[in-house]
Structure 1
Amino acid sequence: MALLTKTPYKAREFDLSGLVGISDKTMETHFGLYAGYVKNTNTLNEQLVELTQTGKVGTPAYAEMTRRLGFEYNGMVLHEWYFGNMTKTGNGGEISSSSELGRALGESFGDLETWRKDFVGVGGMRGVGWAVTYLDPASGRLSNHWITLHEDGNIAGFKPIVVMDVWEHAFLLDYKPADRPKYIESFLANLDVSAAEARLGGAERPIG
């Protein structure tokens, strides 16, 4: 089904030069990839609206575009969550056990170190995808999950709190494939804890 937006999505801008362990060249390349997801989401949406208006719902072209839209749209949004939970200030990554996020992680995982080990373990799994700490709004508990191909593995109704891209384009200019753990440590060093806490409290600006 088409998203039926009245205005096209616009690529958001993120000031992330000077990150720890993640080069500006990598971020430049990554922003370009993200812009492609935005462009493809808009193009597919326009095409699906046209097919809907011309009575071609249910055709093979409609079905294929609809499936593809899930990949492109989720690729766009996941990147916005990813870029949005990093900071270049140099004081990222330190989660206080007494903060709202620290308490929530402690209640869900036992302690912060257990969450971190589990998150790193998910991010280090073979294959390309995303490692995400989700909030279950129904129970208030946090859990780590693996997403592959953007649309596969998203947990229905759960809210992303910490989002890490572990597709190879996120680190290959800086690290060898076998050195993915070094990239994961760099991501955690750049984690914008305040952004993650805002998501937990529902205060983040809507994406799109």
Structure 2
Amino acid sequence: MADKKYTPMQFPNCKGLKGISDAVLEVHFKLYEGYVNRTNKLTETLSGMATKGEAAGTNPMYAEMTRRLGFEYNGVVLHEYYFGNLKAGGSGATPPAKLKKAMEESFGSFETWLADFKAISTMPGIGWAVTFQDPRTGWLSNHWITLHETNNIAGFKPIIVMDAWEHAFVPDYKANERAKYVDAYFSNLDFDAAEGRLK
């Protein structure tokens, strides 16, 4: 695994978003690239330690770097989902038929899903708002992900991902204006890309 390296993805779909400036996105892309680089470095270091026989739960360096890998790795993956479900102008105010049906079957209505997602995304704290799909039932559920790795649901597929860290919207908005950023996010949300993630 040590010789396998991730390369940061490019997201031209994010150019010219409404209410989320290109300047904020440029900084955000650099942060994402940092997660990619640290994931590569940690993977290389941990693989080297395993090859040398230093992989042990009693080795504090190995243990802490392994814990850190979940944070960095999820930082890569969640950012790729986030940037991937944005495009200038979004795809309209309502999702296409398959995604809307999944929301209705899971929440009763699109409006209830939307209210629930917005409530979660405006909670205090640093993290992410994510609509996941249960691979067994197909049901959708909204979750708050603390940092990058805490509260992720094992095996569930991210369908709609919103970065709720301040770096996603400051200085376009003040730190206490996350609700304005959430509105901007929805004006750029690509429901078609989200629907393509459904099983």
Query: Normalising by the residue count of structure 2, what TM-score does the alignment of the two structures yield?
Result: 0.95
SS in 2 for 1:160: strand
Residue number among 101, 120, 127 corresponding to 2:118 in the alignment: 120
CA contact under 8 A between 1:56 and 1:62: conserved in structure 2? Answer: yes
Unpaired segments ≥5 residues, structure 1: 202-208
CA contact under 8 A between 2:90 and 2:191: conserved in structure 1? Answer: no
Q: Report the CA distance shift for 1:6/1:173 in structure 2 as closer, same or farther (over 3 A).
A: same
Residue 179 (structure 2) aligns with: 181
| TM superposition shift of 1:91 | 4.2
Residue 103 (structure 2) aligns with: 105
| TM superposition shift of 1:178 | 1.4
Residue 30 (structure 1) aligns with: 28
Residue number among 51, 54, 58 corresponding to 1:53 in the alignment: 51
State the alpha-carbon separation in 1 of the partners of residues 49 and 116 from structure 2.
44
Unpaired segments ≥5 residues, structure 2: none
Residue 197 (structure 1) aligns with: 195
Residues 147-177 of structure 1: CA deviation (Å, up to 9, x unaligned): 0111101001111000000000000110011
| TM superposition shift of 1:7 | 2.1
State the alpha-carbon separation in 1 of the partners of residues 121 and 91 from structure 2.
19
| TM superposition shift of 1:139 | 1.1
Residue 12 (str. 1) matches residue 2 (str. 2): no
Residues 6-48 of structure 1: CA deviation (Å, up to 9, x unaligned): 4200000001111010000010000000000000000001100
Aligned residues: 196
Could you say what the CA RMSD is over the residues aligned between the two structures, in angstroms?
1.1
CA contact under 8 A between 1:93 and 1:188: conserved in structure 2? Answer: no
One-letter amino acid matched to 1:7: K
Residue 78 (structure 2) aligns with: 78
Residues 84-116 of structure 1: CA deviation (Å, up to 9, x unaligned): 00011x2434224x6000010011111111100
Residue 39 (structure 2) aligns with: 41
Percentage identity across paired residues of the two chains: 55
Residue number among 140, 164, 167 corresponding to 1:169 in the alignment: 167
